[in-house]
Structure 1
């Protein structure tokens, strides 16, 4: 990039020089400018012109050194050599202009009066030059004051945010449910008003949900003692606090409405106890649910995961809904336990999909799913119906040791990759006709390949 920029600057300089030469030649030919007379005038006034140029260059350099007009740059400390250079420039401009004016005064009709005027004018020019530097110092002082005020305002804002954040986190540690709820919404307000704090506050919400929690269980009998009732009520109240935290995540990880969306957020809910968890239409950068427990359903409908989410070892105690999800880097569901109906219909895995050792106690629907970079279902177990109709398998696929205890549907399924090792799977109710065709096709291909190599 630097070499390209330097080349462009060199080409620009050359073009400017060529344009200048062309303009000079055109004016010389046309006679618009008497160049010998013009150059003679410059020669006679060369000292003054040089001093004026030196003063202009000095002003530009002073602006750069003082940081004027460069936001975010700390004003440098004034040093003695800066003052010395400014004084030398003022003295030089004063002497040069006075000397030139005095030389011109000799040609006047009244040389004595002209010399007095020349001295006055030269001193005025020197004073004006000094005034320019004084103006630069005043501008620097004003800019410095504004920068200091902006820094104070920024520090005050940061301090206010920190105080609000600290107070809200303290509220989360209260033994009263309504105080904890207040802390959640206070954190949300801080995050909504300060985008830089959003990931930090999401981390706090996730940490809260990762805290150990036991569900209330079935409603109590009328004969339960007071201690049991008190514990039950505490769990009911904590359940509401956790549901509120989950709703906040759902609300701010959904792109619509746009002003409420928190983009590029990472979730770490490893080992969390989640209740009726919903991320419908959400966009998440990374999501870790390793070892998490999902109670009363899990809903990830139309959710987009930028990086592969981790659900290894997760337990879905009720239904799990991943319909129409997009896994941009695949996903890991190894050793996950699906107790209820599991839906992955129309989802897309654009990276490796890992279901090694996963168990499906109820129906599992993968109809229309696209595995573009392979899927591993080795040692997975389907106790209920397994529906892979119209699914597309590309890349490396594995069904080694997979057990299908219920009906298996592979109608319309497409295998674009290598041998998926379906012959190593166990179909308790009989191997589906579509699977047999795939097995026979790959066995025939393997036989032909072996015969070709034997020749």
Structure 2
């Protein structure tokens, strides 16, 4: 009732108090309160006592309501003052991020991180949004002439100096990495990911919008946990991108991402769809031991140096349709699925280029044998391997909850 006028709140509580009093009288007397009888000789005295009790009860209710509302108002005023002070700190830190000095910008990153750690709640997402926005911005410095004015080329465009703000970028990534590493244990209870911050300082539940951001330095987000959908659509990784052992609890969006350096997703777990449609891997792409629970989509992705999916587990559909292998110096690379498991359908149709395919001990679901669940495209299928690529085998995958397992047979 904190939003009601004071008089209305007192009236309501008074009526409720009277009703409670009469119900108590009925319970104690075991007769309806409207049939309660008073001693004729003490009728006036009893009426006065009841009236005084009711008046006192109403007064007590009024006092409590007034004090409660005063406390509520004081709490709201305190919260407004706190929010105002924190907002000032946030704005000061944002101003630091806009400085032309890298050291000041780094101080701004740590100031924002301290706000998220100290005030928690919605401030964590707010700080994550600010830092992601900074990473999405044009962070290159521009060349200056002898007068300190920006240099422009013949087309009137500013000339970049080559300084790409890598120190600030690496600081932001370090902050994110520490707050995305949630403790994980294996089936035996042994810790495989050690947590370095308190539970209420983790950013795993935050969303990260890094679409079309450019990372000039190496990106290390190994063993990170993303409980919400991270967006890396169109993101450019100019050096190594390491997501090894990362856990994506939902949809992972890497559509159109460009990996100029080594792309490491070894041991990553994709609980939702893993979408790498139109992504470009200019160097080697490693997805060994990765698990794809709800589909892996690499349609029209470009591989310049091959990709390794050894021991990967594809529970949902695996779509490589239209993938391009451009090759480096005439070498188109290897697409290796050795010891991987395909529990769902898989599409290899429309693959461009002439990569070398490897399916040593790769297992395909016998349930789809003879069906159209697998389309091989340019992959050669020898006559003596029961409709599978060379080295691959059929396997009876156990149903969910089946503890007996399945046998592997050719």
TM-score clears 0.5: yes
Selected match of 2:207 from 257, 266, 271: 266
SS at match of 1:212: coil
Selected match of 1:174 from 93, 96, 99: 99
How many residue pairs align between the two structures?
Answer: 336
Q: Structure 2 CA distance, aligned partners of 1:363 and 1:208?
A: 33
Q: Is the 8 A contact 2:240 2:261 kept in 1?
A: yes
Segments of 5+ residues of structure 2 without an aligned counterpart are 23-33, 152-157, 183-194, 326-331, 391-410
Q: Aligned residue for 1:74?
A: 3
Q: Aligned residue for 2:170?
A: 243
Pair 1:166–1:357, CA change in 2 (3 A) = same
Q: Structure 1 CA distance, aligned partners of 2:95 and 2:272?
A: 38
Q: CA deviation at 1:359?
A: 1.8
Pair 1:74–1:420, CA change in 2 (3 A) = same
Selected match of 1:161 from 45, 67, 86: 86
Q: Which has the higher contact order (CA 8 A, sep 6+)?
A: 2
Q: Is the 8 A contact 1:410 1:432 kept in 2?
A: no
Q: CA deviation at 1:195?
A: 2.0
Q: Aligned residue for 2:27?
A: none
Q: Structure 2 CA distance, aligned partners of 1:137 and 1:213?
A: 60
Q: Structure 2 CA distance, aligned partners of 1:136 and 1:401?
A: 78
Selected match of 1:278 from 198, 216, 220: 220
SS at match of 2:239: strand
Q: Is the 8 A contact 1:253 1:262 kept in 2?
A: yes
Q: CA deviation at 1:426?
A: 5.6
Q: Structure 1 CA distance, aligned partners of 2:141 and 2:310?
A: 34
Q: CA deviation at 1:119?
A: 5.9
Cα offsets for 1:270-309 (capped at 9, x unmatched)? 1111121121111112111111111220000111112221
Segments of 5+ residues of structure 1 without an aligned counterpart are 1-66, 68-72, 106-117, 217-224, 441-455
Q: CA deviation at 1:263?
A: 2.9
Q: Structure 1 CA distance, aligned partners of 2:269 and 2:258?
A: 21
2:298 maps to 1:369: no
Question: Aligned-residue CA RMSD in angstroms?
Answer: 3.7
2:334 maps to 1:407: no
What does residue range 411-430 of structure 1 map to in structure 2 within 5 Å?
411-416=360-365, 417=368, 418-422=372-376, 424-425=377-378
What does residue range 19-418 of structure 1 map to in structure 2 within 5 Å?
73-78=2-7, 82=11, 100=38, 103-104=40-41, 123=48, 126-192=51-117, 193-214=119-140, 236=163, 238-255=165-182, 256-257=195-196, 258-259=198-199, 260-274=201-215, 275-284=217-226, 285-382=228-325, 383-403=332-352, 405-416=354-365, 417=368, 418=372
SS at match of 2:116: helix
Q: Structure 1 CA distance, aligned partners of 2:130 and 2:176?
A: 11
Q: Is the 8 A contact 1:312 1:336 kept in 2?
A: yes
Q: Aligned residue for 1:110?
A: none
Selected match of 1:438 from 372, 388, 396: 388
Computing the radius of gyration from Cα coordinates, the structure with the larger value is: 1
Q: Structure 1 CA distance, aligned partners of 2:175 and 2:229?
A: 17
Q: Is the 8 A contact 1:366 1:389 kept in 2?
A: yes
Pair 1:408–1:120, CA change in 2 (3 A) = closer
As a proportion of its length, which structure holds more helix? 1
Pair 1:271–1:100, CA change in 2 (3 A) = closer
